[in-house]
């Protein structure tokens, strides 16, 4: 499932990049400023590292993958399957550029550390996966209440009601 998501994301990124970079060159009747702007835009195609029409930052992209992983974990737990940390490696989201750089403060990093601890505990307690999975999701909610409340609606769908 994870490999499939990565492949689909890669294909999407390639298509978007190709569409952006394969535009026709600026027509001769554009003003010099417009032509220069178009040339600069096309030149930047080779420098682009994030391919997203909304310029989504790396931390947001990683957190989207974390939601996919959490949902997959939830489905496995509901099927009484034991989670494997090799299938769900921890994503170090706190090391990349956030949407809002103001979040990079000591409390954010402490909440990140607590989330990682909750994540690791989940794999240490295979007989209590629901409890530890829900604690991990609670750590997500705790941080998002303080820093970025937009995804809370989606995150609040992740806990397992036992």
Query: Total domain count for the chain?
Result: 2
Say what the alpha-carbon torsion angle 63, 65, 66, 71 is, to the nearest 10 degrees. 130
Cα 7 to Cα 121: distance, rounded to the nearest angstrom:
29
Cβ partners under 8 Å of residue 27, min gap 6: none
Average pLDDT over the chain, rounded to an integer: 79
Q: Is the pTM of this model over 0.75?
A: no
Mean pLDDT of 43-62: 67
Per-residue confidence (pLDDT) for residue 54, from 0 to 100: 78
Q: Which domain holds residue 149?
A: 58-155
Residue 161 lies in a domain: no
Q: Which residue has the higher pLDDT, 117 or 13?
A: 117
Residues 92 and 141 in one domain: yes
Residues 134 and 93 in one domain: yes
Residues 30 and 86 in one domain: no
The 10s digit of each residue's pLDDT in 17-51 is 344 444 333 334 444 444 444 444 344 343 434 45
**SS3 of residue 155 by DSSP:** helix
Cα 35 to Cα 103: distance, rounded to the nearest angstrom:
38
Residues 91 and 65 in one domain: yes
Residues 40 and 118 in one domain: no
Per-residue confidence (pLDDT) for residue 6, from 0 to 100: 53
Most trustworthy range by pLDDT among 20-29, 34-43, 53-62, 147-156 = 147-156
The 10s digit of each residue's pLDDT in 71-100 is 999 999 999 999 999 999 999 999 999 999
Residue 6 lies in a domain: yes
Residue 160 lies in a domain: no
> Residue 130 above 70 pLDDT?
yes
Cα 114 to Cα 137: distance, rounded to the nearest angstrom:
11
């Amino acid at each position: 499932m994870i490999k499939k998501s990565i492949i689909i994301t890669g294909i999407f990124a390639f298509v978007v990049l190709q569409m952006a970079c394969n535009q026709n060159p600026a027509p001769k009747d554009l003003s010099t400023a417009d032509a220069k702007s178009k040339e600069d835009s096309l030149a930047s195609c080779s420098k682009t590292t994030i391919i997203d029409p909304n310029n989504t930052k790396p931390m947001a992209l990683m957190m989207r993958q974390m939601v996919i992983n959490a949902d997959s974990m939830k489905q496995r737990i509901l099927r009484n399957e034991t989670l494997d940390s090799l299938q769900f490696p921890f994503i170090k989201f706190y090391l990349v550029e956030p949407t809002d750089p103001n979040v990079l403060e000591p409390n954010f990093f402490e909440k990140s550390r607590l989330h990682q601890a909750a994540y690791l505990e989940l794999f240490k307690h295979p007989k209590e996966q629901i409890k530890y999975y829900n604690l991990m999701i609670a750590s997500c909610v705790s941080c998002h209440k303080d820093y970025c409340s937009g995804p809370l609606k989606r995150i609040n769908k992740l806990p397992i009601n036992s």
